[in-house]
């Protein structure tokens, strides 16, 4: 009976507290207080048994969240995330931070989309607005022009591969889904930069990737102050999840936003508690490919950051990432395969 009550209380705490260590600390304090009051009735052996039982319960709860099997409804087809999926990046921009990802010609777009598919990528993410720190603003009409050009080419070449479009604008999202059958909307602002976005993706009934960011791409790196970093990120997601679920959109994907309104150190702190996002029981996308959190720390350039990217991809998968958004598809697919082989031997 006591363990049942602990389980119920743990679920209640999970509504407000998001990391396993904090939950254990809170429950430990409650149990210690209760046992002191009941010291005439509880032996030390009973107290130890209570601690072990509730620790096992919390560990099992978080493990079940981590191992939950997710599926996305992509244009009426179920897309499994049972194993981590690799999303290849195509930037239809002249100024994205990694030069090799920029593809503005028809040949470049064709070659890049073919490369993603041939190397084992199962999703393509197309962006026409650079979100690197300090990037220039691009008008909605220019963004649509770039996307129309690219999506037509990709859809003709690979009509069956799911496509995600990276945009924070509701009108752009609507155009891409209605005119080109785009499967996923990937919003770096989670509706913060366009108050029509939530209603639009709900009406379109497409999976929605929402990322944590404060401010805009132009000023986000001036907004890196947090009272309690993890709790603020979690509260941000909780509020948006509640709103979207209430509107009727169920296919949600969380992107913690590595490199967006975060210091180098905060990015690594976030990687350490990435698995705490599983409390929401939603798929998690990680986008760390060749980012400055890697190359600035290692003292190199984005062009030299592949090895560091693969290391962090490995850690992200260990912590429950369901989708890796990457420049280097072959290396990411190999990372996933190795991690899956390792998991199979964990008997």
Distance CA 150, CA 275 (A): 35
Q: How far apart are CA 316 and CA 310, in angstroms?
A: 10
Q: Do residues 276 and 20 make contact, with C-beta atoms less than 8 angstroms apart? A: yes
What lies within 8 Å, CB to CB, of 169 at 6+ separation is: 140, 143, 193, 194, 197
pLDDT in tens, 58-103: 555 555 555 568 999 998 999 999 999 999 999 997 765 555 656 6
- Please tell me the predicted confidence (pLDDT) of residue 12: 47
280-308: per-residue pLDDT in tens? 999 999 999 999 999 999 999 999 999 99
Helix pair 197-204, 229-247: axis angle to 10 deg: 50
Residues catalogued as catalytic: 291, 325
Position 113 scores a pLDDT of 95
Range name among 49-53, 200-204, 252-256 with the lowest pLDDT average: 49-53
The chain-wide mean pLDDT, for the chain, equals 85
Kindly tell me if the per-residue pLDDT of 8 is higher than 60: no
pLDDT classification of 7: cutoffs 50, 70, 90: very low
Q: In this predicted structure, what is the pLDDT of residue 175?
A: 98
pLDDT at 143 over 70: yes
For residue 14, is pLDDT > 80?
A: no
pLDDT at 1: 41
Q: Supply angle C-alpha 70, 255, 296, rounded to 5.
A: 135
Question: Domains along the chain?
Answer: 2-66 (no CATH), 71-344 (3.20.20.20)
């Amino acid at each position: 009976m006591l363990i049942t009550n602990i389980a119920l209380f743990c679920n209640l705490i999970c509504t407000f507290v998001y990391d396993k260590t904090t939950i254990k600390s809170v429950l430990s304090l409650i149990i210690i207080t209760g046992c002191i009051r009941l010291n005439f009735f509880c032996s030390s052996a009973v107290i130890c048994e209570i601690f072990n039982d509730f620790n096992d319960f919390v560990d099992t709860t978080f493990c079940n969240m981590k191992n939950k099997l997710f599926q996305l409804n992509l244009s009426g087809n179920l897309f499994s995330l049972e194993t981590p999926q690799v999303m290849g990046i195509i930037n239809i921009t002249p100024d994205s931070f990694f030069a090799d990802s920029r593809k503005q010609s028809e040949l470049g777009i064709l070659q890049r989309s073919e490369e993603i598919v041939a190397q084992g990528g199962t999703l393509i993410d197309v962006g026409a607005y650079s979100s690197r720190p300090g990037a220039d603003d691009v008008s909605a009409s220019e963004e649509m022009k770039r996307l129309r050009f690219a999506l037509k080419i990709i859809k003709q070449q690979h009509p069956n591969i799911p496509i995600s479009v990276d945009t924070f604008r509701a009108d752009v999202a609507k155009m891409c889904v209605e005119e080109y059958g785009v499967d996923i909307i990937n919003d770096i602002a989670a509706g913060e930069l366009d108050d029509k976005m939530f209603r639009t993706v709900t009406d379109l009934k497409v999976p929605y990737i929402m990322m944590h960011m404060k401010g805009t791409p132009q000023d986000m790196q001036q907004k890196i102050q947090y009272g309690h970093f993890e709790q603020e990120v979690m509260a941000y997601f909780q509020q948006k999840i509640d709103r979207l679920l209430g509107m009727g959109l169920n296919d949600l994907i969380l992107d913690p936003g590595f490199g967006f309104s975060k210091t180098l150190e905060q990015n690594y702190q976030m990687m350490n508690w990435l698995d705490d996002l599983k409390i929401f029981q939603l798929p998690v996308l990680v986008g760390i490919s060749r980012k400055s959190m890697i190359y600035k720390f290692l003292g190199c350039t984005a062009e030299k950051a592949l090895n560091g990217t693969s290391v962090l991809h490995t850690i992200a998968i260990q912590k429950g990432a369901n989708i890796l958004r990457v420049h280097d598809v072959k290396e990411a697919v190999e990372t996933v395969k190795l991690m899956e082989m390792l998991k199979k031997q964990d008997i």
